[in-house]
Amino acid sequence: MLLVVLVGTPAAAEDGDAVDPAGFSGRCLTCHSMPYLGVVDTPLGPRDLHIDPEVYESSVHGLLPCNSCHAGFSHNPHQMVPNAEFFAETAGEACKNCHDDQFEMYKQSYHGELTREGVAEGVASPLCVDCHGTHGIAYVDTLEYRQTIADVCGACHGGREDTFLDTYHGKSLSLGREASATCVDCHGDHSILPVSNPLSTLSKANILPTCQECHPDAGEGFTTFLVHIEPTSTKAPLVVFLVAMAYLALIVAVFSFGGVHTLLYIYRGFKDKLYFNKGGGH
């Protein structure tokens, strides 16, 4: 299904629009706050045409009128045109208008490369809104936002969020330690590159300086820590797999021994009638 984009003929703002941004957005929300508008599947991923006014007003962009991002639109009813390439281009340009430095880094990143290929081939690829959201963009300096990063990344990198949450970083972040490292602290945010790229924050040349941003005393051995592995998976390093299996076997043995010991103790109590001695004798 092609992406449905609301496209209007570029129009000058009507009287009052330039001095009443809230009024402009209010007229947009007359339609876009209606419950019958929902998510549509597109070659570039799902897009939601419904907007919750309260969520938008509490977001980073809550004070901006809709046409700050949706340039060229008026609040008059506009025709619906299927054009995925148009959406990818205008979405990027809208972000670039205010976040030029971040957008240039994104364009040079692996995500930016995938987006260029995705638009050309009509397949899903990561845009700014896929990571930051659309009308509910959160403040990035809050604990609540940092705690959602693993799930955001996991939407495309399935399973990686689980292995991250198994580490000290993931557990401490879940428990409310805001200073704990997230995906973007190690991999980068707008300039994410494959580890094989020498410019990547996790390349062989850069991984130690990346770790030292939080752990200034870290040495070369610090970088050998294995993060995204499942210890009980056969794909894990052999030593890690054997240790994990031995640990599980030890747990099973201890609890089995404890269970058998308890059952035997209860059995002996019944056999010696310890539970029926109402006289209180010895």
| Residue 264 and residue 205 share a domain | no
Question: What is the CB neighbour count within 10 angstroms for residue 167?
Answer: 16
Phi/psi region, residue 184 (left: phi>0; alpha: psi -120 to 50; beta: rest), is alpha
Residue 180 pLDDT level (bands cut at 50, 70, 90): very high
Residue 228 pLDDT level (bands cut at 50, 70, 90): confident
87 vs 18, higher pLDDT: 87
pTM, 2 dp: 0.70
**Residue whose C-alpha is closest to residue 230's, from 160, 152, 156, 148:** 160
| Residue 189 and residue 110 share a domain | no
Residue 122 pLDDT level (bands cut at 50, 70, 90): low
Is residue 73 within 8 Å of 86, Cβ to Cβ?
no
| Residue 156 and residue 127 share a domain | no
Strands 47-48 and 4-6: unpaired
**Res 227: pLDDT:** 84
The answer on pLDDT for 130 being more than 70 is: yes
| Residue 37 and residue 117 share a domain | yes
Could you give the percent of the chain with pLDDT greater than 70? Answer: 78
**Res 156: pLDDT:** 87
Which range among 36-45, 151-160, 259-268 shows the weakest confidence by mean pLDDT?
Answer: 36-45
**Res 253: pLDDT:** 97
The answer on pLDDT for 132 being more than 60 is: yes
pLDDT tens digits along 97-120: 889 999 999 989 999 888 877 655
Asked which of 88, 122, 137 is the last residue of a domain, the reply is 137
The answer on pLDDT for 200 being more than 70 is: yes
| Residue 169 and residue 88 share a domain | no
Alpha helices by DSSP H, the chain: 21-32, 53-57, 84-98, 100-108, 110-121, 128-132, 143-146, 149-154, 160-165, 168-174, 183-187, 207-212, 238-271
Range of the domain at 267: 236-282
| Residue 153 and residue 72 share a domain | no
**Count of domains in the chain?**
3
| Residue 104 and residue 76 share a domain | yes
Task: Provide φ and ψ at 48, rounded to 5°.
Answer: -100, 120
pLDDT tens digits along 10-67: 333 343 343 344 566 777 888 888 888 777 776 556 777 788 888 888 899 888 888 7
Task: Provide φ and ψ at 81, rounded to 5°.
Answer: -120, 125
| Residue 263 and residue 203 share a domain | no
Overall average pLDDT of the 246-263 stretch: 96
**Res 24: pLDDT:** 62
| Residue 181 and residue 116 share a domain | no
- For residues 103 and 148, what is the distance between their CA atoms, to the nearest angstrom? 22
Asked which of 110, 137, 164 is the last residue of a domain, the reply is 137
| Residue 177 and residue 216 share a domain | yes
Overall average pLDDT of the 192-219 stretch: 93
| Residue 242 and residue 191 share a domain | no
| Residue 131 and residue 2 share a domain | yes
**Res 218: pLDDT:** 92
**Res 197: pLDDT:** 94
Overall average pLDDT of the 149-166 stretch: 88
Asked which of 188, 208, 228 is the last residue of a domain, the reply is 228
Is residue 72 within 8 Å of 155, Cβ to Cβ?
no
Average pLDDT of the chain to the nearest whole number: 80
Residue type, 83: N
